[in-house]
Structure 1
Amino acid sequence: MPLALTAVIAAEIEDHCGHRPFKCRRLDMGWTVAQAVAAAHQLVADEGLTKVGLSERSWKDWEAGVLPSPDYQDLLCRLFAANPVLLGFARDYSPMPADPLWNGTEASATLPAGQTIARGTSPAGTVEVAETKRRDAVKLAGLALAAPVAAAQVLQQAAAEAVEFTRKAGATSLGSGTLDHSSLAVTEFNHAYPLKPPKAVFGAVLGYRRKVDRFLRGGYTLPQGRELRAFAGWLSELLAWLAHDLGNVRTGVAFATDAFVQGQQAGHGQLCAWAMDAAASINLYEQWPAKAHEAAVKGLAEAPAGHSLTVRLQAQAVRAAASDDAEGFTAAFHAAYRLLVLRSPRRFGMDVLPLTSYPATSFIWLGQAEQARQHAEHARDL
């Protein structure tokens, strides 16, 4: 969008809707919060700036009035081609510039030859009263309403700019088959997980995860960016399990966390939920039930409504309760069983039936050996 018009639109939104200037700037671009965050990350990549951990939560806090740090203010001013004052991050205490429609600021000032008094002004006053915020914004942008010829020239050039903006929106450095190849790679790695040694699979998956990271540092469209983030997340989720299998807890948790963040950036709730399922399992086997329960709850918050993955995450919460809270276990256990009307999700090419085996480990932690044996035999018979 031509810069000459963004200030106009933002001022109109602020005037009619009462939003803060920073939010108005996002709305005049037509962006959702997720799209604005993605655009900021793309700007960082395009201009080679220091990578940032910008999230939708931080962006919403800024729109609610929380002041960004100086580094983030600089990034946001770059993004919107504005200054901190226009974004509402600071105040301008400098004297107001003289109005271009007047020869002075005194009551005796006269209009330039050929000009008439603007509606809503008074020659008896010491300053001109602006007709609307929109008019002020137009002047700040260099489109004085008193000069229609100049305004027409600016808008004519802006039309050519709009064509170029549209062309750039579809520009990408990704090859035509890159996304298809990445999708196939993720599928093949998932198939290999239960069939090949973890050490061999880990090296191959990590190599491809690095390749996707390089893709993310190149040029791509917003839809392509979401797909790449999703591929990165699925690879990191698989690396979390592989690291756990290889006995490295720290690496496993780190990749589970990365998978969750990539899923959030991609707007992929199911990926976020699977990432927290991995984190919950790793923490449970390391006897950190509180962290496991936290991960399970975090995953449940991201899981799509009515999705069968909620069965598995609820079961993870049951196991965490059995390990840490014997009194809360029974309620959690029955709540999980009520979800069994949903089909259990699939992962790594096979059905995942957590409530057939998880009760056995849960009752072991509770010290109820007979109950554990019964549930283990039931799982075996299935």
Structure 2
Amino acid sequence: MSRFLLFFFILFASSAFAQAPYNLILDYPLSSKALSEDLVTAHKLTYTVENKYLKPKLFDESNTFRKLSGMAYRFGKTVFVDIPIDHIILLVQHEVYGHGYRYREMGFVNNHYQIKLPPPYDCGGGMAYRGEWKGEGVRNPTRHEEIIVSVGGMEANTILANTMISKWMAKGSMNYRETYLYVSNRNNITAYIQSTALCEQDDDCEPSPGNDVLSYLKHVNAENGFLFEKNYRLSLDDLKTQSLINLLDPFQFFALYTYFKTYLWDGGEENKFPMIPLWKVRYLPSFHLGLSPFGPEYYFDNYISTDNKWYSFYFRKGDNTFHDFWGLGINGNQIIDNRYLTFNPSLDLWQQPPIKTGGTEINEIGGGLGFAASGTFLFKVVKGENPFSIYTQLGYKTAGFLPGEMIADGLILRLGLSFGN
């Protein structure tokens, strides 16, 4: 029976994901980078079934009454079906594969999580609770590790948003069901910072004890010698201003157009997004804010598409409040693509301060120049209209902070299945 279910899933998934590669992969200790792929794949499978039975357009909408009725149906579906599903995915990525990933990386086991449905079903929100250390004695995280845990959820949501962009670049379009998931994950850091700032200004509002933004500010300032809030070198107002750079992301505006015009007004599903033509390629720039153990950093993302390949490269630069640090990276897709396999290389470089890690004793790791290099191989098992492949990512990373990857040096290894072209 289990073999039949696996065969049915592979057959159905391959047909559902024919336009772009969607992956089901695992690594240790269940990183935000690997599991973002799994959640995006699960989301794709969910809305493929959903759109089959809850079609965007149920009837002809040739007059005003029918048009308004159709829009009311679509908006109701968004509120009562789509947003709750997407909200759960956001929280799972944030809590389990964001904060939880960093706890697992430090050796904490039996971590547990609280995840609530959004309105109108519940109040929404979630929490991650650290378990016990699997080693001997007591493990007290360093301030750097506290910072990494604090930003782990927002970091994970940014990674999920980037994973969604990779699917859109591969197929050149986005589905309306992907729009809320993208916008909410891309702007999780912005919403968290801005809502915390509003709460701090309201005498009747009390931030939650586990507020990630306030925790980040506390630990990153203390690590650099600023122990008291009145003397913080990096303030909440600073983050509030810096987070506005996330508005310079064209994909969120494409997503809003896809939802309101393609779906809500027209009753359609898929929308092709524009890119800037440059010579023989198409190009899109984007910007976003990241929070590192050394302070905030700005990302300048670049996406290039050709007829059958796409590439991305980025630059990141710290804001220099505490340290001068930077990084860059490049990803290629379908650099090799033949009847047997597809090969996607990736390279990241950075210059950053060392990171203090805990355990039985305090250690400093990394510092200076570091790198991560990996290759993703898709070994083709079934070809044709509904292909699937064996997914293998293999590489090496030096010690240092790279979103979605472990802090320590070591092997990069992820295995699984890939569906689609």
TM-score normalised by L of structure 2: 0.22
Which protein is bigger by CA-based radius of gyration?
1
TM-score normalised by L of structure 1: 0.23
More strand by share: 2
